[in-house]
Structure 1
Amino acid sequence: MATIEEVETHHDPIDRLRATMCATRVSFEWFGTRKSLTRDQKAQAAESFGAEGEFLSAGKKLLDTGHPRFRAVSAVRNQVRKYWTSVSLPFPEPGIRLLRQDALNTFQEQMHRFTEELAEAVAELDEQYLSLKAAARERLGSLFNDDDYPTTLVGLFEVTWEFPSIEPPNYLRQLNPELYEQECQRVQSRFEEAVRLAEDAFLDELSKLVSHLTDRLSGQADGRPKVFRDSAIGNLHEFFERFRSLNVRSNEQLDALVSQCQNIVEGIQPQELRKRDALRQQVASDLSGVQAALDGLLVDRPRRQIIRTPK
């Protein structure tokens, strides 16, 4: 059986993606903090506007989601989404992304850590639940309904993940060979699209990062060089690492531009760019060349095709 390294070396982009990736789905169960008004409540609200209740859409906010404890719970969900996106590639089926098979254990461990963080954040939120509920009672007035509120928030915020099969089921080969072949073609087309989606995602991200840094380095504000954060360069380095890990090598031009951009900023510290005007101008000029080439790829994107390696 070939190793992932061997597959990456000898297969074309589509086969490489299919052989080295697994499908992942991350789902959230989240307590809904908004609720539609009842028919009578909408009619009452509509009356104040001289409108008819059936033509009015209205809702109420059950809890203050701006509370620090609630924001802490929401922050975990945002972290999960950001992490999942950073270690995976898009796939043309809703809710599914592709994860490297050799990153599966790391992914599992990190997701378990997130579930622990979420449970802790929810427990701390639940400690403030009664006071949040009391504040809602005061704010909502006659719209408050005790039946809208569970006895506890524990167990109402969860993150789960799974690894769904996206390959044709083997039993179809025996039961219906023609249908099995159709499914094989459908899956193949999905992976062809996945390669294009991955390439486009990398292209868009690199273009935004380079454009932002170039503007910061070359632009002026009130006659002075624009201020830029360390993250303007740090985000580029994070991109290079993610590209190295997830790139399916479907576009030689993009690969070359990523290498060129990496060479431009390699070893350069943000503070150097702030102190040395000549270096700042040189880096800005070099990045402008990369940006021009990226713009060309963006324009040509609809006409690009994936070239498969002959077998």
Structure 2
Amino acid sequence: MSSAFFLEITMNQQTNLHNKAMLVGLAIRGWQARKYDKKISLEVVEKHSASSDAGRFNKHLLPGAAESYEAVHKKGRELRAFYYEQTLPWSKDGQRILPTSNYEQFAEGVRKLRNQYDLETDAFLRDYPRLKDDARVLLGSMFNEMDYPLTSEMAFKFGIDLEILPFPLAEDFRVNLADSEITRIRKDIEQRMQREMEQANKDLWNRLRNAVDNMVLRLSKPDGKFHDTLVGNINDLIDLIPRLNVTDDKQLEDIRAKCKAALTVHSPQQLRDDSIIRGRVAAQAAEISTLMDAYM
């Protein structure tokens, strides 16, 4: 394949992606209730005649049962998991691909989780003065008022930042350089973007492959014990893939259709109760997994 033909294909794919996808970045800010205590660290190493870099003592600034604080961070983890689930990998900068076909579902999910995060943050802020008083007792002489922001300041320690950017095009690269140098740079950009697109596509394949292989593993066991999520997870992927298949991978769509027809027609309880059905579905999952080998 000539380099000119490769570049034409790449540019067509990128133009298509520019119209069908955007880039999204997520940052979740939260106060970390831990603090390095230099004074205590020095006391410990001196007591044990150790070198000054032998260890570091980090204080827990809140009691272990600070449920309101933990609830905020739990909701942040849920949001981050949702962000990764609903998007595709793009760059090392943390931005990810969000297909326009999945924008509404993504935006609604983020809105819901962000509201929950804010509610949990408000609950923690109301609880913060009490938790601080409990920490005063817990830490004893290690308590330091300077370790604790004011309640009014603490409100700004938590937050969610969502950045949405247009999908880039190499042809947008314009600088005051010689034409030959601009062509070379654009070619480098196009090739890098092609690799990123291939990685995004591979991520979808890996998600589906892991779900199928897990079904093979779990359903092949004679005891029939597994969680409902075994079926739920593959159902969720089958629904999600058409919205994330931004490269219109026909082979991926074909495998997805086979999974839907063979692996999701029975409920988890049916699979547990009927060993014949369970064995048949396990065999079908194994066949699909083998078929995927040719595409991955």
TM normalised by structure 1 equals 0.80
What is the rounded CA distance, in whole Å, between the counterparts of 1:93 and 1:266 in structure 2? Answer: 35
Local SS of the residue matching 2:27: strand
Q: Does residue 20 of the first structure (1) align with residue 17 of the second (2)?
A: no
Q: Quote how far apart the aligned CAs of 1:136 are.
A: 2.0
CA contact (8 A) 1:35 1:60 kept: yes
Local SS of the residue matching 2:265: coil
What is the rounded CA distance, in whole Å, between the counterparts of 1:229 and 1:47 in structure 2? Answer: 52
Q: Identity of aligned pairs, percent?
A: 21
Aligned to 1:256: 254
Aligned to 2:134: 135
What is the rounded CA distance, in whole Å, between the counterparts of 1:139 and 1:33 in structure 2? Answer: 14
Query: Which of 207, 210, 219 is 2:209 aligned to?
Result: 207
Aligned to 1:229: 227
Aligned to 2:95: 96
Relative distance call for 1:36 and 1:185 in structure 2 (3 A) is: farther
Q: Quote how far apart the aligned CAs of 1:96 are.
A: 0.2
Relative distance call for 1:270 and 1:13 in structure 2 (3 A) is: farther
Relative distance call for 1:106 and 1:176 in structure 2 (3 A) is: farther
What is the rounded CA distance, in whole Å, between the counterparts of 2:229 and 2:279 in structure 1? Answer: 19
Q: Quote how far apart the aligned CAs of 1:232 are.
A: 0.7
Greater shift after overlay, 51-60 or 109-118? Answer: 109-118
Q: Quote how far apart the aligned CAs of 1:240 are.
A: 0.8
What is the rounded CA distance, in whole Å, between the counterparts of 1:126 and 1:107 in structure 2? Answer: 28
Q: Quote how far apart the aligned CAs of 1:166 are.
A: 5.7
Alpha-carbon displacement from aligned partner over 1:219-252 (angstroms, at most 9, x marks no partner): 13xxxx2311221111101101111111135655
What is the rounded CA distance, in whole Å, between the counterparts of 2:172 and 2:287 in structure 1? Answer: 53
What is the rounded CA distance, in whole Å, between the counterparts of 1:168 and 1:65 in structure 2? Answer: 50
Alpha-carbon displacement from aligned partner over 1:4-42 (angstroms, at most 9, x marks no partner): xxxxxxx9655533431111111122112222222x332
Q: Does residue 37 of the first structure (1) align with residue 50 of the second (2)?
A: no
Q: Quote how far apart the aligned CAs of 1:165 are.
A: 5.0
Aligned to 2:7: none
CA contact (8 A) 1:24 1:163 kept: yes
Greater shift after overlay, 117-126 or 236-245? Answer: 117-126
Relative distance call for 1:139 and 1:146 in structure 2 (3 A) is: same
Alpha-carbon displacement from aligned partner over 1:112-163 (angstroms, at most 9, x marks no partner): 4433322211111122212221222223232221101011132221001112
Aligned to 1:60: 59
Q: Quote how far apart the aligned CAs of 1:202 are.
A: 1.8
Local SS of the residue matching 1:22: strand
Q: Does residue 185 of the first structure (1) align with residue 184 of the second (2)?
A: no
Aligned to 1:305: none
Local SS of the residue matching 1:288: helix
What is the rounded CA distance, in whole Å, between the counterparts of 2:50 and 2:165 in structure 1? Answer: 49
Q: Which runs of 5+ in 2 are unaligned?
A: 1-10
CA contact (8 A) 2:79 2:110 kept: yes
CA contact (8 A) 1:18 1:191 kept: no
Alpha-carbon displacement from aligned partner over 1:193-237 (angstroms, at most 9, x marks no partner): 2222222212222222112222221113xxxx2311221111101
Relative distance call for 1:168 and 1:214 in structure 2 (3 A) is: closer
Local SS of the residue matching 1:118: helix
Local SS of the residue matching 2:232: helix
Alpha-carbon displacement from aligned partner over 1:78-136 (angstroms, at most 9, x marks no partner): 22212222221110232100112354455445434433322211111122212221222
Relative distance call for 1:109 and 1:262 in structure 2 (3 A) is: closer
What is the rounded CA distance, in whole Å, between the counterparts of 1:171 and 1:211 in structure 2? Answer: 42
| 2:209 partner amino acid | S
| 1:213 partner amino acid | M
| 1:195 partner amino acid | M
Q: Quote how far apart the aligned CAs of 1:259 are.
A: 2.2
Q: Does residue 241 of the first structure (1) align with residue 232 of the second (2)?
A: no
Local SS of the residue matching 1:163: strand
CA contact (8 A) 1:21 1:100 kept: yes
Q: Quote how far apart the aligned CAs of 1:60 are.
A: 1.7
Relative distance call for 1:177 and 1:97 in structure 2 (3 A) is: farther
What is the rounded CA distance, in whole Å, between the counterparts of 2:64 and 2:97 in structure 1? Answer: 32
RMSD: 2.8
CA contact (8 A) 1:216 1:228 kept: yes
Local SS of the residue matching 1:56: coil
Greater shift after overlay, 134-143 or 154-163? Answer: 134-143
* Alignment size in residue pairs: 283
Greater shift after overlay, 107-116 or 71-80? Answer: 107-116
What does residue range 50-129 of structure 1 map to in structure 2 within 5 Å?
50-64=49-63, 66-104=65-103, 106-129=105-128
Local SS of the residue matching 1:164: strand
What is the rounded CA distance, in whole Å, between the counterparts of 1:256 and 1:169 in structure 2? Answer: 31
Q: Which runs of 5+ in 1 are unaligned?
A: 1-10, 302-311
